[in-house]
Chains A and B, each alone.
Chain A
Amino acid sequence: MTGLDIVQLSRLQFGITALYHFLFVPLTLGLSILLAMMESVYVMTGRPIWREMTKFWGTLFGINFAMGVATGVTMEFQFGTNWAYYSHYVGDVFGAPLAIEGVMAFFLEATFIGLFFFGWDRLSKLGHLIVTWAVAIGGNLSALWILVANAWMQDPVGARFNFETMRMEVTNFAQVLLNPVAQAKFVHTVSAGYVTGAMFVLSVSAFYILRGRHLEIAKRSLAMAAAFGLASALSVVVLGDESGYTASQNQKMKIAAIEAMWETEPAPASFTAIGIPDIKSETTLYAVRIPWLLGLIATRSVDEVVPGIKNLVADTEGRIRNGMIAYDALTKLKQDRSNAELRATLDAHVADLGYALLLKRYTPRVTDATDQQIREAANDTIPDVLTLFWSFRVMVGLGFWFIILFGTVFYLNWRKTIATTPIVLHAALWSLPLPWVAAELGWIISEYGRQPWTIEGVLPTFLSASNVPASSVEASLVGFFIFYTALLCADLFLMRKYIGLGPQADPTREAAE
């Protein structure tokens, strides 16, 4: 029907569901922290307007949570069906953080969310505040486990290949959990969520101020969102730099592709701020380069080299040849399991076994691969340079725009002139979708940049997919499209309706104040 093969269809389905799911996640992460901050002010000052604010933004948080909850479950459906080889090969490692996340999301987070909404008149002020912080912390912790699992796909530490079971098995769970890629990804991702939450509050508050409605709540919300958003946007940039550094340690090809850097430059490498990559000529036209910057970001030094794509492909050819030795030993071990010499050979070369698997695209007889086939397989390790180059620059550009916008609103609010500066309020209003654009681009860079691997250097994507009928994946893709479109429409309808209605006035507030 679509003309796509099973691997492309499975990737498309997973990509669409993951990107859709992540429309809800960052707002949950960011708005939950803002709610906790607003309620903290209420408990500290005793002023009912902060309770009213918490309730209003809490309603919008509730709509987002209700629409988003379980949209990620569909990805777990797909692991067992569309990615059965992947699930067997790495399920031992990948399954644990996913299971912990399930427990956190469904039990901890859901329980406290129930208490948040139904506990206003049943819990003490302090008791309810603790619940609100538990919602925020629970949500952020469940993100941690997903990012631990994803980071392992980028940098598979703490596990080794077992030829008896034909799977990767955990050798050190602490290494999996404390993987530097996971730590960098976690803080970068939650900060991006905080920016999203702050932008949501900022934009909706700007809308109310422009319309002259709910001014007391809108001005306070705007002030809090600007301060929190500015701190978060600065964090995203700083922590994104850490993500870049960790990627440059174990995913050098991803960094080279993001930079469209075909040749290795003398250290310290320059950063291409903008340009037009030309894939045919393997050059970047009209490139504007910032001297030293890439070398400093990627290596934290002035004398270490950042390798270019061509050098990395040449290195990969060597790893493929090394992996062929492991592949040969593994194949023979299957016939002679007790052969100690073969085991020693496999152990010595197993780190490159995944590279030999890249040859399966070109020949069923991996150990007899020709030089041409090895070259082609090595070339397959270059991800889509254009997608990565532009996605990264748009994402970074948006990151700097958020700093400027939050900074400007923060400054004007401090000068008490924000309400009389409509151009800034309009900018805040129309910037509403931009954090989502940046966050989705971030995931595209992370996951597209890992191709052709599902597990970096271990398992190629084309060998991870199941041999299920393409028609079945096409049909479920249509089902997901209908499901998600309906849900998105419901979400937008409810958000628009309740933002339009605005906060509910608390009749006791005026008396109390």
Chain B
Amino acid sequence: MKRKWALRQEISWVIAAKILLLAALFTLFFAPSKRPKIDADAVSRHLLSNPRGNAP
């Protein structure tokens, strides 16, 4: 029983640390405010920067 509780405690600590680190990484680098706003016009500008041209 002692071993079972020790394992639960150890796993709980690791999961808590993991959630904190993940939350920190998300907030610092991946929060919605960090994401580029991409819509159809942005993709058009990105892929089709040459509005005039002739196919071979």
Contact = CB atoms under 8 A, between A and B. Distances in A.
Contacts, number: 126
B53 A365 contact: yes
Contacts of B30: 77-78, 80-81, 476
B40 to A, nearest CB: 4
6 contacts: A80-B35, A88-B43, A331-B48, A365-B53, A475-B28, A487-B18
A159 interface: no
A330 interface: yes
A479 B29 CA distance: 10
Q: Tell me the dominant secondary structure on chain A's binding face.
A: helix
Interface in A321-360: 321, 324-325, 327-331, 334-335, 357, 360
A84 B18 CA distance: 26
Contact of A475 (B14, B29, B46, B49): B29
A331 B55 CA distance: 11
A231 interface: no
Interface of B: 3, 7, 10-11, 14-15, 17-19, 21-22, 24-26, 28-30, 32, 34-36, 38-40, 42-44, 46-56
Given A81-B34, A328-B55, A329-B55, 13 more contacts: A62-B7, A66-B15, A70-B19, A74-B25, A77-B26, A88-B43, A166-B43, A167-B43, A357-B47, A364-B50, A476-B25, A479-B25, A498-B7
A8 interface: no
A10 to B, nearest CB: 12
A73 B18 CA distance: 12
A66 B36 contact: no
Nearest to A493: B10
A316 to B, nearest CB: 15
A85 B15 CA distance: 33
A164 B25 contact: no
Contact of A85 (B17, B19, B38): B38
A479 B28 contact: yes
A501 B2 CA distance: 13
Interface stretch (A30-38, A178-186, A440-448, A461-469): A461-469
Interface of A: 59, 62-63, 66-67, 70, 73-74, 77-78, 80-81, 84-85, 87-89, 164-167, 321, 324-325, 327-331, 334-335, 357, 360, 364-368, 463, 466-468, 472, 475-476, 479-480, 482-483, 486-487, 490, 494, 498, 501, 504
Nearest to B25: A479
Q: Tell me the dominant secondary structure on chain B's binding face.
A: helix
Contact of B17 (A329, A486, A494): A486
Given A77-B30, A334-B51, A360-B47, A87 B38 contact: yes
Contact of A501 (B3, B39, B40, B53): B3
Given A166-B40, A166-B44, A167-B43, A331 B18 contact: no
A482 B18 CA distance: 11
Contacts of A487: 14, 18
B40 A328 contact: no
Contacts of A85: 38, 42-43, 46
Nearest to A472: B29
B54 to A, nearest CB: 6
A260 B39 CA distance: 40
Given A472-B29, A498-B7, A367 B50 contact: yes
Contacts of B48: 327, 330-331, 334
A84 B56 contact: no
B55 A74 contact: no
Contacts of A475: 28-29
Contacts of B14: 66-67, 487, 490, 494
Nearest to A353: B47
A321 B56 contact: yes
Contacts of A321: 56
Given A167-B40, A475-B29, A487-B14, A81 B35 contact: yes
B51 A331 contact: yes
A411 B19 CA distance: 46
A463 B7 contact: no
B22 A70 contact: yes
Contacts of A73: 22
Contacts of B36: 81, 84, 466-468
A59 B49 contact: no
A366 B50 contact: yes
Contact of B55 (A62, A327, A504): A327
A70 to B, nearest CB: 6
